[in-house]
Structure 1
């Protein structure tokens, strides 16, 4: 299995694992989105977007798009931790922040390993 597939699947698995907490209104998830002033719509909306992105990451044909979108979505989580929530949220030892960083890294690897496809796509539409 290629590194691109491994990184895509790992990013998708992390994103999918967090959906349970978002969609069941787990106290940790509700707390986070309350701190961001986006409860409940931000929590549910983010969950829907992450579900779509995870699906894109799981299929080789759409993993490039999934990787790009995933980096965008997870950047919001990373910036929220840095500027609003803090690295550690409710004494989690920085676990959620670490998972967000992992998703970003795995998504970056997914995009980087397909950069030739991305460059070809951009060149096709520049003409």
Structure 2
């Protein structure tokens, strides 16, 4: 039985899921069109070839966007999105990429942080399903959390 608060959380989680999908899919036009400043800098720093790096990230973001929109896979998509955004945040903070690579006040970094929070919110709103997944596929972790 769900309470009014649970229903409200799930409605808000839909909005958060839509944001995550929009955010990922909006930036695919840049990642799929060709080299970007972000991936050029990261490639120079890491030694990973720019194109495979950029296309790998783009494909992971597309997968997360699709998964987060499907109710049955929403938790997996949110966890995937949170992982992707964790990587983006780490790259912005601890590499030559910096928080403000485009000189626009750190728009990309702020969006990465907000998308990370939205993914966390989706996981919170669907915490029962998230815990069930942990118990099923990572029993050692799931047992400690429960």
Q: TM-score, normalised by structure 1?
A: 0.89
For residues 37-116 of structure 1, the aligned pairs below 5 Å read: 37=46, 38=48, 39-84=50-95, 85-116=97-128
Structure 1 segments, 4+ long, off by >2 Å, are: 26-38, 120-127
* Structure 2 gaps, min length 5: 1-9
Whose radius of gyration is greater, 1 or 2? 2
Contact 2:82 2:116 in 1 (8 A): yes
Deviation at 1:27, TM superposition (A): 3.5
Deviation at 1:5, TM superposition (A): 0.6
* Structure 1 gaps, min length 5: none
* Partners of 2:69 and 2:93 in 1: CA distance: 28
**Are 1:17 and 2:29 an aligned pair?**
no
* Corresponding residue pairs, total: 127
- Larger RCO: 1 or 2 (CA < 8 Å, sep 6+): 1
RMSD over equivalenced CA pairs, Å:
2.0
Contact 1:29 1:43 in 2 (8 A): no
